[in-house]
Each structure stands twice: as structure tokens, then as C-alpha cells.
Amino acid sequence: MDKSQHVREIYRLLQKLYPNPVSFLNYNSPYQLMVAVILSAQTTDAQVNKVTPLLFRNYPDPKDLMVSNLGKVEIIIRSTGFYKVKARNITGAAKKLVLDYNSEVPENMDELLTIPGIGRKSANVIRAHCYNKPAIIVDTHFSRVTGRIGLTDSSNPVKIENDLLLLTDNRIQTDFSMLINIHGRKFCTAGNPLCEECVLNSICRYFTMKSDEGRGFCNVYKSSLSENSLTDRMKSLYHYRQYLN
Ligand code: SF4
């Protein structure tokens, strides 16, 4: 199987596992999603969802947020962390929309990247969810899972995005991004991936390597037991360490 076939198989398996992937951020308009994605940096979507109802009640459109009192905004969003920077970013973003984009969130990537607090990942989220543009959305979950599976060898988000754009049909790119993101939260977690239970383990590079290492260790260790001397066992373990390096 080549990597494109892997992607199609991964997509099929994850669609079956998560038939209704949904965005984890709550929003009702492009403006609200833009603010929510800025607030989601370095925190959980659940935490953002706790503060946005009050924020949007107080500042229902970009003009309101643009002229808001920074201190009041900071109090509302404080629990999302980095609240001073985020308050400056969301008020700055609102100002940018009002002054340069007629109070609308643009859909063009270059224009989105001119908005304070919006990077490539956030721009892709907005393009995908508000404007139905195909997008590979690279966040920490996506980088980790695609790297482990073996779909990319890079840790650079732009390179990962480009690698995956080449491997995926644009009709599935947004859904594929969401499915991988969900899988990273539920199974392929950073600290302790649940590989034994994972539907992707038969096509995952990380799992294959881990299994091979396990088999290598067993063979080395079994032979050490028959030699019956502590020194030999230590030597075998030393060789096993070398094997892993
Ligand atoms: S087998 Fe393990 S490393 Fe591979 S995708 Fe599944 S959980 Fe992640």
C-alpha cells in the first residue's frame, strides 16, 4: 500500500469509528469562530466554550468588540490563559475586520493571515468551517498522529500540511483533518497511545516499530536466560539497548 492508499484506508476506518465528526468550538458566525479560535491557543476547546457565551452577549459583533474596555474583556476570558495577549488579539482582530474587511471575516488565506492572532491553522479552520474550503488543519493532535502513522516525517506544520495536501483528495481534506484530530484526543494521545485497541494499528509505523522492538527484546532476553549467568544477561540487555539505538 502506498501512502495515498493508507490515507484512504485511514479515512474509511475513522469514518466508521466517528460517523459524525463535529467541531469542538461553539460558534454561530464567522466572527464568533474567529474569536473562538484565537482564544483556543494553549487551552482546551471546552474552556473556550465556557467563556464565549458571555463574551458574545457583551460584544455581539466586531464593532462592539473593537471599542470594548480591554480590562473587561480580560476578566471575561481570563480562564483561557494568556488572557492579556488574547484580549489584545481579539480586540485587534475585531478592529481589523471593521477597518479593512467591512466587518466581515475574509475567506482568502492571505487576508486571514493579516488578522492579529490568526495563524495558518486558525485560518484553515475558518476557511473550512465557514466557507467550505478544503483544508488540512494541522494542530498538535494532527501532527502527532500523522507522524506516528508515517504519513509525514516532518515536525514543521507547513511541511506537514503540504505533505498531507498531496496525499488527500480535496473532497475529504477537512473531514480527514477532523477525524485525525478526534483520534488523537481519544486513542493516539501524547503520553500513552492506546495502540492495542486502535483500529489503525495494522497500518501504523509507530505501532509496527514498537512491536518489532518488543519482539527483538524477547529474543535477546530469552537467549540470555539460557546462558545462566548474570554477566551474560547484562551483556544481552546491553545489546538490546544497542539494538534500540
Ligand atoms: S496504533 Fe498507536 S500510534 Fe498508531 S495511530 Fe493508533 S494509537 Fe496512534
Write the single-letter amino acid at 222.
K
Domain count within the chain: 2
Q: Which residues of 46-82 are buried (b: 16+ CB within 10 A; e: fewer)?
A: eebbebbeebbeebeebeebbebeeeebeebbeebee
- pLDDT at residue number 212: 74
- 205 alpha carbon to ligand 1 midpoint, in Å? 8
The residue segments making up the domain with residue 229 are 205-244
- pLDDT at residue number 56: 98
Using CA atoms, how far apart are residues 193 and 9, in angstroms rounded to an integer? 20
Domain final position from 131, 160, 177: 131
Domain assignment present for 187? no
- pLDDT at residue number 243: 27
Domain assignment present for 111? yes
Residue 148 Cβ contacting ligand 1 at under 6 Å: yes
Domain assignment present for 150? no
- pLDDT at residue number 77: 98
Residue 201 Cβ contacting ligand 1 at under 6 Å: yes
| Mutation test residue for ligand 1: of 13, 144, 149, 197, the one with most atoms within 8 Å of CB | 149
Whether 121 is catalytic is yes
- pLDDT at residue number 211: 82
Using CA atoms, how far apart are residues 160 and 170, in angstroms rounded to an integer? 15
What does each of the 245 residues of the chain score in pLDDT, given as a tens digit? 788 889 999 999 999 999 987 778 999 999 999 999 999 999 999 999 999 999 999 999 999 999 999 999 999 999 999 999 999 999 999 999 999 999 999 999 999 999 999 999 999 999 999 999 999 999 999 999 999 999 999 999 999 999 999 999 999 999 999 999 999 999 999 999 999 999 999 999 999 998 877 665 445 444 444 444 444 444 433 333 332 32
- 239 alpha carbon to ligand 1 midpoint, in Å? 27
Domain assignment present for 21? no
Domain final position from 131, 157, 188: 131
Whether 232 is catalytic is no
Domain assignment present for 88? yes
State the DSSP string of the chain. --HHHHHHHHHHHHHHH-SS---SS--SSHHHHHHHHHHTTTS-HHHHHHHHHHHHHH--SHHHHHTS-HHHHHHHHGGGSSHHHHHHHHHHHHHHHHHHSTTS---SHHHHTTSTT--HHHHHHHHHHHH--------HHHHHHHHHHTS-----HHHHHHHHHHHS-TTTHHHHHHHHHHHHHHTS-SSS--GGG-TTGGG-HHHHHHHHHHHHHHHHHHHHHHH--HHHHHHHHHHHHHHH-
Residue 91 Cβ contacting ligand 1 at under 6 Å: no
Domain assignment present for 173? no
What does pTM read for this prediction? 0.83
Q: Which atom of ligand 1 is the closest one to the Cα of 207?
A: 1
Domain assignment present for 165? no
Out of 139, 175, 232, 235, pick the active-site residue: 139
> Three cell numbers at 60?
455581539
- pLDDT at residue number 103: 98
Domain final position from 87, 104, 131: 131
- pLDDT at residue number 2: 84
Residue 225 Cβ contacting ligand 1 at under 6 Å: no
- pLDDT at residue number 216: 56
Q: Which atom of ligand 1 is the closest one to the Cα of 187?
A: 7
Q: Say which CATH number the domain at 101 has.
A: 1.10.340.30
Domain assignment present for 189? no
- pLDDT at residue number 223: 46
